């Protein structure tokens, strides 16, 4: 259910479109058949539970992030270069991707040389 849409509205819109096209949704695992009234009811109940679960996960994630920030933790990857090292790009007049590509090229060339000698 939670793979079909991000909210009840998306799920209902998707199933309504399928119904308009003459297609019924049948799930063997959850025993849902939207071509029947009882199947539509079951679908809506499961959709509401899936959205509720998604909202709980979001709330818990935010609470965890806020607690980490309160302890002084900062998320995200560490900074790749210190401010002083970034001057290399400015001195050479190139961008970081250009320098990285050059370094990778030199490293791959030197590793090829090592395999032959």
Q: What is the pLDDT of residue 2?
A: 58
| pLDDT value of position 117 | 46
With beta carbons less than 8 A apart as the criterion, state whether 68 and 75 touch: yes
> CA–CA separation, 2 vs 8, rounded Å?
9
Q: Which residue has the higher pLDDT, 31 or 72?
A: 72
DSSP structural state of residue 23: -
116 has a pLDDT exceeding 60: no
The domain locations on the chain are: 8-70, 87-116
Instruction: Return the H-helix or E-strand segment holding 32.
Output: strand 32-33
Q: Quick: pLDDT tens for 56-69.
A: 999 999 999 999 99
Is the Cα dihedral 79, 80, 85, 91 positive or negative?
A: negative
């Amino acid at each position: 259910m939670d793979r079909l849409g991000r909210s009840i509205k998306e799920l209902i819109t998707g199933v309504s479109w399928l119904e308009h096209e003459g297609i019924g949704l049948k799930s063997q695992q959850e025993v849902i058949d939207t071509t029947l009234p009882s199947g539509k009811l079951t679908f809506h109940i499961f959709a509401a539970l899936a959205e509720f679960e998604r909202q709980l996960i979001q709330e818990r994630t935010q609470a965890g992030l806020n607690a980490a920030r309160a302890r002084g933790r900062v998320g995200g990857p560490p900074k790749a270069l210190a401010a002083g090292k970034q001057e290399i790009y400015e001195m050479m007049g190139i961008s970081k991707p250009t320098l990285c590509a050059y370094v990778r090229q030199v490293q791959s060339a030197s590793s090829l040389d090592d395999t032959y000698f």
